[in-house]
Amino acid sequence: MQEKDTGTIGELAFSAEAMRRGYRIAQPFGDNCEYDLLLDAGQRLYRIQVKSSNCKIGAVYSFYLRRGKRKTQYTEVDIFACYLAPERLFFLIPADAVNNRSNVKLNPQPRNTQWAPYRENWGVFEQDYKGMMTA
């Protein structure tokens, strides 16, 4: 499977699960935005950057949270939705929690790690974050 296909599958999986949970999803036209999707949680809009991986190295999946040739930060993203495709599992991580990291390594097994609280963290869409848009 090509990398672009993996990304599309991740976006579709996120959209389907978010809609199943009662959220509305919008997708910007073109590739001009730093985010992939908008999630409407009623009074709030969240800018979602979906990252997908099929590649497990040891016990973890690695996700790069920088973009472009110069690997610049995402400044217009509220939530990173990291999709572990073979596991059909999301880690929903606020951009503030990522801080200046260039990547995160996520273990699909529930363990006491830094990223464990973000495993299937759909309640994140009921919180306020700096820079977030209001509907």
Cβ neighbors of 77 (< 8 A, separation 6 or more) are 34, 35, 47, 48, 49, 95
Pairwise CA distance, residues 23 & 15, whole Å: 9
φ/ψ of 29, rounded to 5, equals -80, 145
Average of per-residue pLDDT values in the chain: 88
Which range has the worst mean pLDDT, 69-73, 105-109, 113-117, 120-124? 69-73
List beta partners, residue 48.
Answer: 37, 79
Domain with residue 57: its CATH number is: 3.40.1350.10
Query: Longest Cα pair distance anywhere in the chain, in angstroms?
Result: 42
pTM of the model: 0.89
- Report the helix count and the strand count for the chain, using DSSP H and E: 2, 11
Supply the range of the domain harboring residue 11. 3-134
Number of domains in the chain: 1
